[in-house]
Amino acid sequence: MKLTAKKREKFLELLKEGTAVIHACTAISITPVSMYQRRRDEPDFAQAWAAAVEQGEKVILTKLEAEADRRAMEGYQKPVYHNGVLIGAERRYSDVLLIVRLKALAPEKYKERTEATVKTDLATGEQITEARQMVTTALAVPVETNGATNGSGNGATNGASKSDG
């Protein structure tokens, strides 16, 4: 079928309400393939489609949040059976949904808190200064091992002696 202006507006309106594309297409008697092709070929239509979907997602989110709130606070009825026979119902609540909503609405109060303690044995500034002085002093005095040095003049040895060779 042809996409008339009226069908186009109906399709976009359904998307704004949160209707899935396939269901919106069924409602206007146009195949989803045709609609996706039109979206690909017509930038203005593609833009209107994207805006409608964005609005529809907000509508759906509002409905889902309301349902989550209802299940968390008012609960829902779960059928109770005995020997395959329905004997009643019990009200159930969703603690998980309640926690999720609290975290979403007041994250500063209900966020997950983790604590880490870092323990280090870092040297103090004074200890570092003393260590520098010790190294400087050690390097200033030439050290000889069996009379061999590394030739750098700082007294460090190359680890070899004339008797090793």
For 64-116, the pLDDT digits (tens) are 999 999 999 999 999 999 999 999 999 999 999 999 989 988 988 988 887 77
Residue 34 lies in a domain: yes
Quote the CA–CA distance of 22 and 29 in Å, as a whole number. Answer: 10
Residue 117 lies in a domain: no
Residue 148 lies in a domain: no
pLDDT at 146 over 80: no
Residue 92 lies in a domain: no
pLDDT at 163 over 60: no
Quote the CA–CA distance of 154 and 139 in Å, as a whole number. Answer: 6
Residue 42 lies in a domain: yes
Number of structural domains in the chain: 1
143 CA to centre of own chain: 59
Amino acid 159: pLDDT:
47
Amino acid 93: pLDDT:
92
State which residues form the domain around 11: 5-61
Residue 103 lies in a domain: no
> pLDDT confidence of 141, banded at 50, 70, 90?
low
Residue 38 lies in a domain: yes
Percentage of the chain modeled with pLDDT above 70:
84
Amino acid 45: pLDDT:
97
pLDDT tens-digit map of 11-37: 999 999 999 999 999 999 999 999 999
pLDDT at 161 over 60: no
